Structure 1
Amino acid sequence: MEDSVAPSKGADRIAFYALRGVTRLCDGVGVALVAAILLLIVSAVIARDLLGVGMPWTEEVASMLAIYAIGFGSISAWVRSEHLVVDLFSHKLSGLGKNVQYRLTALISCGFFVLAAWGAWIMSDMSANNKTVSLSISFSYLYYGVFFSFAVMALIAVWQTLRGPVAWLEAPSEEELTRS
């Protein structure tokens, strides 16, 4: 998407910049969270081994940061179509067939994302009174990260279903990558 040329006008131009902004934001936040996890783990090891000070709360915070980092990374990967895909017959479809397949896949994905977001919301409600041992943080905050990522991916999947495939979101094929 970074190498793509923005559409010249209309709703596609707005969508292009909105999705590019979302991916940049998600990438930046995800990298910051992973860096925070690494810093936290290194500081816990140094504190324990060199200073003899235990930091048992770091495991709880690292787990929460990891869930949010995965959520932001999933959103970015969904926009870029970088999730794992098994493509057995798409290359043999006509243009109309590819369009229908794209929309159907986005619609099915949207259904899955809505179901997963709903499950995360229910789990956040069910675990509201369960708290972590060291910091007494509600487990609901863990599920909020899962809910947020699935809800955003569901919104993007709705847009993909309604809009259909766009040239500026298509990933280059393996043949195009080997030719360059």
Structure 2
Amino acid sequence: MDGAVAPSKGPDRIAFYMLRFLTRLCDGVGVALMAAILLLIVAAVVARDALGLGMPWTEEVASMLAIYAIGFGSLSAWVRSEHLVVDLFSHKLSRLGKNLQYRLTALISCGFFVLAAWGAWIMSDMSANNKTVSLSISFSYLYYGIFFCFAGMAVIAFWQTLRGRVAWLEVAREDEVVQP
């Protein structure tokens, strides 16, 4: 996404900058969360081994931070089309066939993401009274991270279904492919 050239005008230009901002924000937050996890684990080890202090709450916080880091990373990867894809025959399709396949895949993905977000929302409601042992944090906060991840990917997949393939994302991906 960073190597792509922005469209000259229109709604695609707005979408380009919005998606670029979203990926940079998600990447920044994800990296900050991973750094916080690392610092938290190092602090727990140092406190336990060097100072003889127990910090049992660090496991709960690290788990929550990891869920949110994965959510932000997944959202960023979805925008960049960097999730694992098995591509067996789309290179043999016509331009119309590729466009239809892209939209159908985005629509199916959107349905899956909506279903997963709905499940996370239901689980957050069901586990509102369940709390962690050390800090008494509601498990709902864990499910909110999953909900926001899938809801964000559902919105982007819906946009991909309506918009279809965009040239500014394809150019960046084609540059990465190494031809033998």
With structure 2 as the length reference, what TM-score do the two structures score?
Answer: 0.97
Tell me the equivalent position of 1:122: 122
Does the residue aligned with 1:136 lie in a helix, a strand or coil? coil
More displaced stretch, 116-125 vs 164-173: 164-173
Cα distance, 1:177 vs structure 2: 3.4
Q: Does 1:40 align with 2:40?
A: yes
Extract unaligned runs of 5+ from structure 2: none
Match of 1:152 in 2: 152
Measured in 1, the distance between the counterparts of 2:20 and 2:174 equals 20
Give the secondary structure class of the aligned counterpart of 2:178: helix
* Runs of 4+ deviating beyond 4 Å: none
Alpha-carbon separation, structure 2, partners of 1:167 and 1:106: 16
Amino acid at match of 1:30: G
- 2:48 aligned partner, one-letter code: R
Q: What is residue 13 of structure 1 aligned with on the other side? A: 13
SS of aligned partner of 2:177: helix
Shift of 1:7: 0.3
The aligned residue for residue 164 of structure 2 is 164
Question: What is the number of residues matched between the two proteins?
Answer: 179
- What is the aligned-residue identity percentage? 85
Q: CA RMSD in A?
A: 1.3
Residue number in structure 2 paired with 1:57: 57
Q: Supply the AA of the counterpart residue of 1:6.
A: A
TM-score w.r.t. the length of structure 1 is 0.97
Q: What SS is found at the alignment partner of 1:115?
A: helix
Question: How far apart are residue 17 of structure 1 and its match?
Answer: 0.1
Measure the CA separation in 1 of the matches of 2:75 and 2:108: 17
Q: CA deviation at 1:169?
A: 1.2
1:82 corresponds to: 82
Task: Using the TM superposition, give the Cα deviation of residue 173 of structure 1 relative to its aligned residue in structure 2, in angstroms.
Answer: 3.8
Q: 1:131 matched to which residue of 2?
A: 131
For the pair 1:100 / 2:100, whether they are aligned, the reply is yes
